[in-house]
Amino acid sequence: MFSFGQLIFGICFFVVFTSIVILSYKSDKKRQPQYFKGSYKVLVGFIIAFSLLVLIKYITQK
């Protein structure tokens, strides 16, 4: 499906992108904490939605 180089690029991109987003979030949260109240709920929602999509994919392929 993907070549070895594409997989390496995808993994590296994901790690770097996630790191940058986390660092940006931490610095912004220190400067303006009132905008980040309850933001963990959005993260939990994304994780649940992604998990459901992966689960549906594996269930329907069998």
Q: What is the pLDDT of residues 9-62, one digit of tens each?
A: 999 999 999 999 999 989 998 998 888 888 889 989 999 999 999 999 999 987
Domain count of the fold of the chain:
1
Domain of 9 in residue numbering reads as 4-61
Judged on CB neighbours under 10 Å (0-12, 13-18, 19+), 36 is middle
Q: Please give the C-alpha separations between residue 41 and each of 6, 11, 13, 36, in angstroms, as whole numbers.
A: 32, 26, 25, 10
2 Rama class: left (phi>0) / alpha (psi -120 to 50) / beta: beta
Alpha helix locations (H) across 1-62? 4-31, 39-61
pLDDT score at 8: 96
Mean pLDDT within 1-9 = 91
